[in-house]
Amino acid sequence: MQTVVTNSPKDTQKLAQNLAAQFKDGGIIALTGDLGAGKTTFVQGFAKGLGIKDKIISPTFVLMREHKIPNTDTVFYHLDLYRLEEPIDIVNIGLKDLIQNPENIILIEWSEKLGENLPHNATKINIEKLDQASRKITVQ
Ligand code: ADP
Ligand code: MG
């Protein structure tokens, strides 16, 4: 387990950008934290670290956005499950198929909504708001 305190959105993005290097060949990231904690801010840095130039906005209403990584066959899937009322079968959102391919890079905001369906090999990252500009980021 690794804990870091960031003191600005830029700090959080830098941290995420550096972490992304570990996931270039695929992986699942389960991101938790309250509304406004900084999850989407984190994803913006993470996507940048993957070489993605698209604007990253939270897929709150569509649940998932796909971003192709330039010059590769790899796709980054960004999910935001905030609007799900209860843990649902991951098949319903197509996540099960995506997980079958270990080369996919899958990041799930509000991953706690998956309950028991959260893949066991996911890297868990929690963001906690300490004050206006500080966040405690725990990676495990
Ligand atoms: P979430 O996706 O968790 O709901 P957002 O990333 O959309 O959160 O919003 C986080 C807000 O907190 C942004 O307005 C961001 O600028 C602000 N913020 C302030 N300090 C930090 C920090 N250290 N890390 C991340 N975000 C921060
Ligand atoms: Mg968000």
Minimum-distance ligand to the CA of 7?
Answer: 1
pTM: 0.95
Q: Which atom of ligand 1 lies closest to the CA of 11?
A: 23
Task: Report whether residue 128 contacts ligand 1, using a CB cutoff of 6 Å.
Answer: no
**Mean pLDDT, the chain, integer:** 93
Q: What is the 3-state secondary structure (H, E, C) of the chain?
A: CEEEEECCHHHHHHHHHHHHHHHCCCEEEEEECCCCCCHHHHHHHHHHHCCCCCCCCCCCCCCEEEEECCCCCCEEEEEECCCCCCCCCHHHHCHHHHHHCCCCEEEEECHHHHHHHCCCCCEEEEEEECCCCCEEEEEC
Q: Which atom of ligand 1 lies closest to the CA of 134?
A: 23
Write the pLDDT tens digit of every residue in 108-118.
999 998 888 89
Average pLDDT, stretch 93-117?
91
8 A C-beta contact, residue 118 and residue 30: yes
Write the pLDDT tens digit of every residue in 47-63.
999 999 999 998 887 78
Distance 130 CA to ligand 2 centre (A): 17
